Structure 1
Amino acid sequence: MEWTVPIAVVLSLVLVFLVAGGGRRSDADQLARRLAVVERKLDLIMAHLDIREPEPEAPGAVLQELLAGRKIQAIKAYREATGVGLREAKDAVELLARQRGLG
């Protein structure tokens, strides 16, 4: 019987932490959904005004790697030159390849 009280306290604390943690995740999800809505609206405004995103600047090493058919190395070179994340670098290199008819 002596061990039931500490176990009940520990289980209660675990339950409280799980509930509290779930709320934080929900806040992050809600913020992500709101951001997605704002981005969609901005995209619609840009399309209506016929505004296009600027063409990404391509460092020479990126273009050399693309011309040689080494897309992964081009993405790596773009990340090193600009400091952006993997997703942004991949998108920029793919856009550059499409614009140059390389891929």
Structure 2
Amino acid sequence: MDAWEAALLVIATIGSVAAAAGAWFQERRSSAAQLAAVQRKLDLVMAHLGIAAPEEQEILEHVRNGRTIEAVRVYRKQTGASLLEAKQAVDRLSTPHRPGL
């Protein structure tokens, strides 16, 4: 095998590994987006039914008292969510459900 064939083999191997890694990362992003969508829907159903999970009681208390930042901090601590996800969840909890929207 000469040097050109070896170089092409190395490049093809690197390309294959990069493609597999890219597909794996894309699948992870897709799964995370699907999970976030399901969580949002579940939050809406629970809010519509007036059901609050036990760990939400502390968060809801902070929201009712106007301490949004503290509610976001507690939500992040309990769920491990990102700052943006926690803020969106607290906003959903603090906004009354309006049918038809």
TM-score normalised by L of structure 2? 0.53
Q: Deviations over 1:49-88 (max 9, x none)?
A: 11112048xxxxxxxxxxxxxxxxxxxxxxxxxxxxxx98
Q: Paired residue for 1:22?
A: 22
Q: Paired residue for 1:54?
A: 54
- Structure 1 stretches of 4+ moved >3 Å: none
User: Identity of aligned pairs, percent?
Assistant: 34
AA matched with 1:46: M
TM-score normalised by L of structure 1? 0.52
- Could you tell me which runs of 5 or more consecutive residues in structure 1 were left unpaired when the two chains were aligned: 57-86, 93-103
Aligned length: 62
Secondary structure of the residue that 1:91 maps to in structure 2? helix
Q: Paired residue for 1:12?
A: 12
AA matched with 1:45: V
The Cα RMSD (Å) is 2.6
Alignment CA distance shift 1:41-1:30 (3 Å)? same
